Copies of this chain bind each other. A is one copy, B any other.
Amino acid sequence: MAKQKKAPRPKAQTPKGFRDYFGVEVSERAEMLRTITGVYHHYGFDALESSAVETVESLGKFLPDVDRPNEGVFAWQEFEEDGNGDWLALRYDLTAPLARVYAQHRNDLPTPYRRYTMGPVWRNEKPGPGRYRQFYQCDADTVGTASVAADAEICAMLSDTLEKVGIPRGDYIVRINNRKVLNGVLEAMNVTDETAQANVLRTIDKFDKVGEAGVRELLGKGRLDASGAYIDGVGLEDNQAEPVVKFLTSKGANNSETLANLRAAVGDSVIGSEGINELEEIATLLAAQGYGPDRIVIDPSVVRGLGYYTGPVYEAELTFEILDEKGRKRQFGSVAGGGRYDDLVKRFTGQAVPATGVSIGVDRLLAALREKGRLSSKAQGPVVVTVMDKARMADYQSMVAELRQAGIRAEVYLGNPKNFGNQLKYADKRESPVAVIAGGDEFDKGVVQIKDLILGAKIAENATLEEWKALTNQFEVPRSELASKVAEILESQS
């Protein structure tokens, strides 16, 4: 066997911005992914798992992190003798890979192609509290149809999904907007320069924080923010700001009112009108299926950061309040988002392939449910068969095998059995509901001791074996009744 060379000890640490997940964190996520993909499947979507690694070329550069190393992705070059190996990267989302998959396999896939997928994605971002460089997404997309019925369907499915995972109606809202309306507003404002356009969109995103007056300042000369810092403005004329202000204040008491206000904001922009017509069609389709504005609503404040959207964009927000790290109340915020991206596949094929889809931020949604105490973590530790006599390990293993065959999660203590207190501490740490004890006396008499640990948990930490045995939540039963008695205690605990 090759021996290792002497080297300084490696640090036992995840790389910066990465973390590990333990026990119920893992099983709760698995359960949620199963629920979400169950809804997607029910809607006719088919599973896809693409590779985690893509060529940098096929991923494209659509992340907003232009100032980050590799523009926000983890990338490396394939080794080739001539130094011309492909650049590879970890996927940063599940949409860019879908475009590649569809372009690659389009002759074998149905059109339209509805697919769902889930898995981790990686961002080469600056890590921060609660901000990780690997996180889960669970996406559903429809490729190959320009019909906004596809967008409506995905919004309806998103609403169903949120309710299915445990967010009650009223605690979330799916909001829809349309990039074409935004483009119409820019047209009405006569802002054609790309940088200025991007700046206007950024300003729109700040409307929630700074309000109408703030937006006017930011579009014009600039603004002194709450911290006392001066934020430079976009430098537009006062009258140029009108369409965007109209747009931002266009949300009416119902969808019809909002749509009418939006028509005023885009003026005679053709692209703007097209966008509004699409929103109207989506609203009609959703209303026909019973999805009212208490679940899905047209909301002009939705922008979505990614650069590849070309039509309807949508976002699911949780509307209940939580306390932030400083103890202030705030709305939980966005847990899912998506939209139409008609040009992503075209990058590969040269032919326009319309597509639309949603991505659920699984880890954020889990955090929300945890926050609200809505995850019924039925995680229960295993029954622990303790070891009083190491030489009888085969007997203890037989007990455990019997328990497992009876459908009970169980294990034998495999640490050093000398210190019985350690076995109790272990059972405690595992949150074991029941411990089984059998030493020489018990084997001689053909019995076992069974301990209800839920009742006895509190004093377990420091008790001696004798004290522990003396508790009334301990039962001596014939060896043959081991499994049935343990099952009975587990039943009584639940």
Using CB atoms and an 8 Å cutoff, list the residues of chain A in contact with chain B. Answer: 1-4, 9-16, 18-27, 29-30, 34, 41-44, 46-55, 57-58, 60, 69-70, 74-76, 78-79, 86, 88, 90, 100-101, 103-105, 110-112, 114, 120, 122, 133-134, 142, 144-145, 147, 149-150, 152-153, 156, 179, 183, 194, 197-198, 201, 284-285, 287-290, 307, 309, 343, 347-350, 382, 384, 393-395, 397-398, 401, 404, 409-412, 414-416, 426, 429-430
Residue of B18, B50, B103 near A51 (CB, 8 A) is B18
Given the contacts A347-B9, A414-B150, A22 and B1 also touching, CB distance less than 8 Å: no
Instruction: Say yes or no: A76-B79 contact (C-beta < 8 A), given A11-B58, A44-B410.
Output: no
Partner of A57, one of B10, B90, B347, B393: B10
Closest to A57 in B: B10
Picked from B24, B53, B149, B415, the residue with its CB within 8 Å of the CB of A134 is B53
Q: A49–B76 contact, CB under 8 A?
A: no
Q: Which of B46, B52, B76, B88 touches A120 (beta carbons < 8 Å)?
A: B52
The answer on a CB contact under 8 Å between A58 and B289 is no
Docked Cα-Cα span, A100 to B395, in Å, equals: 34
Q: Contact: A47 with B23, CB < 8 Å? A: yes
Establish whether residues B12 and A104, one from each chain, have CB atoms under 8 Å apart when the complex forms.
yes
Which B-chain residue is minimally distant from A27 (CB atoms)?
B47
Q: Is the CB of B112 within 8 A of A394?
A: no
Residues of chain B contacted by A197 (CB below 8 angstroms)? 1
Task: State the CA gap A350–B88 with chains docked (Å).
Answer: 36
A12, B100: Cβ atoms closer than 8 Å: yes
Give the contacting residue for A411; candidates B30, B43, B394, B416; CB below 8 A.
B43
Q: How far is the CB of A411 from chain B (nearest CB, A)?
A: 3
Q: How far is the CB of A117 from chain B (nearest CB, A)?
A: 8
Which residues of the other chain, B, contact A69 by a CB distance below 8 angstroms? 78-79
Alpha-carbon gap, A103 to B153, bound state (A): 48
Q: Which residues of B contact A183 (CB under 8 A)?
A: 1
Residues of chain B contacted by A50 (CB below 8 angstroms): 14, 20-21
Given contacts A2-B194, A48-B20, A398 and B289 within 8 Å (CB-CB): yes
Residues from chain B with Cβ under 8 Å of A144 in the complex: 415
- A401 nearest CB neighbor, chain B only: B289
A307's partner among B1, B285, B349, B398 (CB-CB below 8 A) is: B1
Smallest CB separation, A191 vs chain B (Å): 12
Chain B hits for A288, CB < 8 A: 394-395, 397-398
Assembly of this chain: how many copies?
Answer: 2
B404 and A43 form a contact (CB under 8 A): yes
By beta carbon, the residue of chain B nearest A99 is B12
Candidates B14, B30, B152, B401; contact of A397 at CB < 8 Å: B152
The distance in angstroms between the C-alpha atoms of A384 and B43, with both chains bound, is 10
Contacts of A10 in B (CB 8 A): 55, 57-58, 60, 100, 347-348
Are B12 and A26 closer than 8 Å at their CB atoms? no
B75 touches A426 (CB 8 A): no
Sample of 9 more A-B contacts, CB < 8 Å, known A16-B78, A74-B88:
A11-B58, A12-B103, A14-B53, A42-B410, A44-B409, A74-B76, A76-B76, A284-B394, A285-B393
CB-nearest residue of chain B to A41: B409
B42 x A404 contact (CB < 8 A): yes
Q: Which of B34, B74, B79, B415 contacts A53 (CB 8 A)?
A: B74
Closest B residue, CB atoms, query A50? B20
For the complex, what is the distance from the CA of A16 to the CA of B411, rounded to whole Å?
Answer: 44
A380 to chain B minimum Cβ distance, whole angstroms, is 10
Kindly list chain B residues whose C-beta atoms are within 8 Å of the C-beta of A343.
4
CA distance A347 to B12 in the complex (A): 9
The complex places the Cα of A201 from the Cα of B288 at a distance, in Å, of 71
A472 → chain B closest CB, angstroms: 27
Are A13 and B55 closer than 8 Å at their CB atoms? yes
Give the nearest-CB partner of A382 in chain B.
Answer: B44
A114 to chain B: closest residue by CB: B411
A400 to B15, CA, bound (A): 47
Q: How far is the CA of A490 from the CA of B365 in the complex (A)?
A: 35
Rounded to whole angstroms, the CA-CA distance of A75 and B15 in the bound complex is: 13
Chain B residues near A349 (CB-CB < 8 A):
9, 12
In the complex, are the beta carbons of B3 and A20 less than 8 A apart?
no
Contact B49 A414 (CB under 8 A): no
Tell me the smallest distance from the CB of A192 to a CB of chain B, in Å.
12
A-B contact pairs, 23 of them (CB 8 A): A1-B179, A1-B197, A4-B343, A4-B347, A10-B60, A11-B58, A15-B51, A15-B53, A15-B54, A16-B78, A25-B47, A29-B49, A30-B34, A30-B47, A44-B410, A44-B430, A52-B120, A70-B79, A149-B412, A153-B414, A288-B395, A289-B394, A289-B398
